Amino acid sequence: MIAAFILTAYAGGGIHLRVDGEGLFRFARGTQAVYCSEITLSTSSGVLSTPEGYPLLPQIRVPASGKGVTVQMDGTVSVLGKPAGHIVLALFGQTQLQKVANYYTSASRSSIGYPGDGLFGVIKVIGAGSSGPTSPALHVSKPSISPTIEVGLRAEVTGDHIYLKDIAQIGGTGPDSAEVGDTDLGVAPLYGSQRGITRSYILAKLRSEGINTDRYEIVCPTGAIVVRKGQTVTAESLIQAAAKAVKDQLGVDFEMRSERTFPDLTVPTGDLQLNTLQAIQSGDGASVSMEVDVDGKAAARRTVYLVPTVPIPMVRAGDPVKIRLIKNGATVEIAGRCRSTAKVGTSITVESETGAAFTGILRTASLVEVKL
């Protein structure tokens, strides 16, 4: 139940209205929707508009003179006592709004509703009093909202195709309302890429489905895009996994960094796992083929090229080292010397104090590991 008080009659200077609540007035600025909580409405091209000429969404047609126009707390607009339309409000979270000049914009879709519903609030006039109730505690039947289609600046889709209902707020009622939302706008972009959407493209798609687009207010901001919803695999996480593989599989025990820069990966949502397909040592560096699996299926592959973060230590023939002999899980360390020059992480031949020769991997500048 909401009291239906006529707030003011339209005059030459316009109607100065404010939303007493969290709702916002909605206007079309070109192809973009803009919002505010307080505005002076006047007529422009026969519709209620802002001082700059931005029409209300949905549009409400009134006489250019404004004579006989009244606005009620529940948003009903009448001309000489006959309903002309209904003001519809938008509701956002505060973090979704950006202030641009005198209006708010948002890349997110809003909830839409009537004044008097929950948090939307009611409409009040500024600087004028009520002319009295037309019917105290009268229940106002709400007319259908004129059909509107509001596309967000950035929308995410999860399927292989883009449907209008997934990227736009569709308000109002009509015989083809369900068909409008189910309009197929084409194939969704690949993960990590984006696809632009324009008002003219939406119009063409709706018309190809036999939908009368003249009945709809279509707002699509310039630069609107659609992306495929996914999860990000950062380049840093791939580098860390590749460095671990080099250490575990090749036994190279020094810090490494990526030799080349590459972008993050975007893959489907699900259980993520990074797997090493192959690690190959090449000189001081290594190349590691990585596979990104989601829910047990390969989603992407990337080869990571690594190089040492600092110069690799070297030994020369005659330098003393420890020789770690490993056999069947048992380990023995003996003293020895290098027979040749080598870098840490590469193969080298050494000999013990008794003259026995062994070939193993130079793990550090002072340790050679030999598997017997």
| CATH number where 362 lies | 2.30.30.760
Which residues have C-beta within 8 Å of that of residue 235, sequence separation ≥ 6?
Answer: 258, 261, 262, 263, 264, 265
Domain boundary among 145, 162, 179: 145
Residues 68 and 79 sit within 8 Å (Cβ to Cβ)? yes
Final residue in a domain of this structure, among 199, 228, 257: 228
Residues 244 and 180 occupy one common structural domain: no
Among candidates 306, 204, 196, which has minimal Cα distance to 249? Answer: 306
Q: What is the DSSP letter of 357?
A: E
Give the integer Cα–Cα distance in Å for 186 and 188: 7
CA distance 344 to 326: 19
Is the domain of 185 the same as that of 86?
no
Question: Considering the entire predicted model, what is its pTM?
Answer: 0.56
State residue 357's pLDDT score.
95
- Same domain, yes or no: 337 and 293: no
Mean pLDDT per block of 10 residues along the chain (372 residues) reads: 41 78 91 90 88 89 81 88 88 80 85 84 70 32 62 87 90 68 93 90 91 82 88 95 91 84 92 94 88 95 92 91 93 95 89 94 91 90
Residue 30 is assigned to a structural domain of this protein? yes
Query: Has residue 299 been placed in a domain?
Result: yes
In a domain, 280, yes or no: yes
Asked whether residue 65 is assigned to any structural domain, the reply reads yes
Residues 43 and 127 in one domain: yes
Tally of structural domains, the chain = 4
Q: Is 307 exposed, middle or buried (0-12, 13-18, 19+ CB in 10 A)?
A: middle
Map tokens 């509001």 to a residue: 150
361 assigned to some structural domain: yes
**CA 283 to CA 279: how far, in whole Å?**
13
Dihedral angle over CA of 23, 27, 33, 34, nearest 10 = -60
Please report the pLDDT score of residue 174 as a whole number: 59
Residue 153 lies in a domain: yes
Asked if the structure places residue 158 within a domain, the reply is yes
Are both 268 and 344 inside the same structural domain? Answer: no
What does the buried/exposed string (b/e) look like for 277-305 if buried means 16 or more CB atoms within 10 Å of the residue's CB? eebebeebbbbbbbebbbeeeebbebebb
Give the closest residue to 39 by CA, choosing from 21, 52, 30. 52
Instruction: Give the 3-state secondary structure of residue 351.
Output: strand
- Total count of residues recorded for the chain: 372
Helix, strand and coil content of the chain, in percent to the nearest 5, comes to 10, 45, 40
Domain that holds residue 283: 232-308
- In eight-state DSSP terms, residue 247 is I
367 strand-pairing partners: 322, 364
Q: Decide if 114 contacts 46 (C-beta within 8 A).
A: no
My answer on whether 249 and 137 are in the same domain is no
Q: Establish if 1 belongs to a structural domain.
A: no
Residues 223, 240, single domain; the answer is no
- Kindly state whether residues 286 and 330 are assigned to the same domain: no
Is the same domain home to 11 and 111? yes
Query: Do residues 223 and 253 both lie within one domain?
Result: no
Question: Are both 78 and 189 inside the same structural domain?
Answer: no
pLDDT of the residue at 186: 94
